Chain A
Amino acid sequence: MSWIKGRLGAFMTIILLTGFIIATVIALGWPYEARLFPLTISLPVLVMLVFQVLRDLGVGKKGDNSPGAVMDLPVDRDMPVATLLRRAGTAFGWFFGLILGIWLIGFVPSIPLFVLLYLLIQGREKVRVALLATAAITALQLGVFDRVVHVAWLEPQFPWIQRFILDWVGSG
């Protein structure tokens, strides 16, 4: 178990390696002009990624995985993995829920509904605060994106709620 835990870094490398292999194989079927650039890039990277997988699996020289080894925003690594995964699952769950809501009932009702539900359930905020925040995001969405920028909202699976709101505000 600890062997696997110490080599979790290889997970991302293997996914990338798989992605590059697929990209290379697909590119081989294109005309010369179309495949030259993708292959020039992907072939050397494939070799590099194989080296990186070996490094991550502990074969040969260990790569530099210390904090700050890469130029990116810092990550808090003090949290236990189980807690991290549970909280990440919840956070991504809300995000995916919003995306699903947009697909099902459309942008216009989904975003205010997401804000309201998140604040009440996840944030455990007072109803007054949640309603105020929902009103603010609704005003922004309908005031700026709908009335000023004239966004053409996508047609969702169940469009009647979105149509009703847009008709009600006079922009349907």
Chain B
Amino acid sequence: MLEAAIISFENLFTCSQGCVAEFIPVPIAFLLFGVIIGMILGAMPGLGGLVGLAILLPFTFDMDPYSAFAVMIGLTAVVSTSDTIPAVLFGIPGTAASQATVLDGHPMARNGEAGRAFGAAYTASLMGGLVGALILAVSIPILRPAVRLFGSPEFFRLGLLGISMVAVLAGRAPIKGLAIGALGLLVGMVGSDPQTGTLRYTFGNLYLWDGIPLVPVALGLFAIPEIIDLVIKGTSISDMPKGAMTGVSVGIRDAFRHWFLVLRCSTLGVWIGAIPGLGASVVDWFAYGHALQTEKGARDTFSKGDVRGVIAPESANNAREGGALIPTIAFGVPGSSSMALLIGGFMIQGIAPGPDMLRTPAEGGHLDLTYTLVWSIALANIFATGFSLVLTNQLAKLTNVRINLLAPMIIGIVVLAAFQASRDWGDILSLTVFAVLGWNMKRFGWPRPPLILGLVLSGILETRLWISQLRYGYEWMYRPAVIIIALVIIASLVYGIYTTRKTEQRPQVPLLTKNDVESSD
């Protein structure tokens, strides 16, 4: 296996020599075009890479494969970089992958540390994107058999692993966390039951037959309550005077200082991305939960503006794109909804994703194209980080603009974004209901993240459990990967309980300052 990985890594350069000649200069221009479009779409809540790819796809008919994939990969790879902008500035997740970034990114902006949050997020995104590309390059031959090992029982257990994160995200109020996680699971069950087709909690409403989409729920729970609270407060996003805003360079240093966290979360992101069906909506929560469990003093400082709470999800969500390409390339199975459209791009070019993508051109394959995809991810992330860093100081200044000027525009965009989910009156109603619920939850001290996690994982858990049970009986519980994931869940819960107890026993400490973080390293 190690030998295969080394050969694959060597191929990245030897096979790419041919590609580089063709890659420059035209595909670089296409890549840049994709990056710019991707960054705009990422910063606009409700749009995201899927919309961008759907719009771009028809234009790829007349392109050569290298240009077509450069523009498409350029677009998808950087959406997770620019979706940090609304998450940090306004507490609005730009895409599903930046939900967890809100928890620490927005408090940082309110503390006058928007520049630092952006610096850390972009650097972590870059590092995550590069790790994702690298792992994709070296692991295709290794991961092919590994991904095949994942059946419904393993998916179910992974879903349970995600739900165990509720215990972590519940903080020191486990009953509230579990109840809200359960509410999320119930909301996820709205619609047609996968087994019998029974309509559950639909109340005769056609909109609810397909279930409640994630976007209006997430925007309702997080975006509207945050804007309402800022309007109530009546000040700008940050209370700090302009001079007190810390710079981007501190954030960049933060990301490098926490390189091991970046590496761990990036690897996690690649793995989650490589498993079809999990993807963007959970990867940031997995990474956030992991950081919360493993980082020193995280239980005291996370969700109050700890830079590590930004670094973890941002490195994971960019690395996910590399991971999502693994099943797409190796099996022709899309690792995410964006990858499903990318397969459409393959079809347009007359290329069938699968084993051919791992054979050299001499063997009649498209390995050169595979490595073009790898290089595209790496370059797109570098370009996106460069653009973002140039804009950061200007964006950070928005935190000092009075909220009454920003609020109506943000609310308008949020309503438009929520409407993109299924373009039905139900989206607007869902947004309204969850906005009222979210504001009350926030005010009465109920954690909102477990609801999102429950909603996302509900379908995976139920469907995969039934399939496992019907296909394997109780035998599915004895599969090696199922047992390993079960052990990880137990270890994670035991460690979580241990660290919570330890946190409860010691007096509360104030927020980590830059100096504290530096000294802890």
Contacts and interface: CB of A to CB of B under 8 A. Distances in A.
A49 B446 CA distance: 12
Interface in B85-140: 91, 102-103, 106-107, 110
Contact of B186 (A31, A42, A44, A72): A42
Q: Is the interface of A mostly helix, strand, loop or mixed?
A: helix
Interface in A37-60: 37-38, 41-42, 44-45, 48-49, 51-52, 55
B515 interface: no
A129 interface: yes
A133 B408 contact: yes
A137 B412 contact: yes
Chain A interface size band reads 35 or more
Contacts of B171: 68-72
B302 A71 contact: yes
A37 B435 CA distance: 27
A96 to B, nearest CB: 7
Interface stretch (B318-326, B389-397, B417-425): B417-425
Interface in A105-119: 107, 111, 114-115, 118-119
B179 A48 contact: yes
A33 B193 contact: yes
Interface in B408-453: 408-409, 411-413, 415-416, 419-420, 423-425, 428, 432, 435-436, 439-449
B304 A91 contact: no
B520 interface: no
Interface stretch (B11-19, B230-238, B338-346): B230-238
A137 B91 CA distance: 20
A19 B441 CA distance: 14
B405 A119 contact: yes
Contacts of A1: none
B55 A87 contact: no
Given A76-B229, A114-B411, A34 B198 contact: yes
Given A107-B416, A123-B404, A133 B172 contact: no
B186 A115 contact: no
B283 interface: no
Contacts of A52: 175-176, 179
B185 interface: yes
Given A34-B200, A70-B171, A119-B404, A114 B47 contact: no
A70 B412 contact: no
Contacts of A94: 408, 411
A128 to B, nearest CB: 13
B423 A151 contact: yes
Contacts of B176: 52, 63, 70
A172 interface: no
Q: Range of interface residues on chain B?
A: 35 or more
Contact of A152 (B102, B201, B423): B423
B51 interface: yes
Given A63-B175, A88-B228, A99 B411 contact: no
Nearest to B234: A87
A69 to B, nearest CB: 5
A127 interface: no
B404 A31 contact: no
A95 B438 CA distance: 14
B44 interface: yes
Nearest to A124: B404
B143 interface: no
A114 B415 CA distance: 12
A60 to B, nearest CB: 12
Contact of B195 (A34, A55, A88): A34
Contact of A72 (B175, B407, B447): B447
B447 A70 contact: yes
The CB with the most chain B CB atoms within 10 A, among A9, A16, A72, is that of A72
B300 to A, nearest CB: 8
Interface string A20-37: 100100110011011001
B189 A37 contact: yes
A68 B200 contact: no
B20 interface: no
B182 A45 contact: yes
A29 B110 CA distance: 48
Interface in B8-66: 44, 47, 51, 55
Contacts of A154: 423-425
Given A71-B171, A98-B412, A41 B444 contact: no
Contact of B193 (A34, A69, A133, A137): A34
A165 interface: no
Leading 6 A-B pairs by shortest Cβ distance? A123-B404, A118-B408, A34-B198, A70-B447, A33-B195, A12-B444
15 contacts: A9-B444, A66-B508, A68-B304, A72-B441, A87-B232, A91-B228, A92-B439, A96-B432, A115-B409, A122-B408, A133-B405, A133-B408, A141-B412, A145-B416, A149-B55
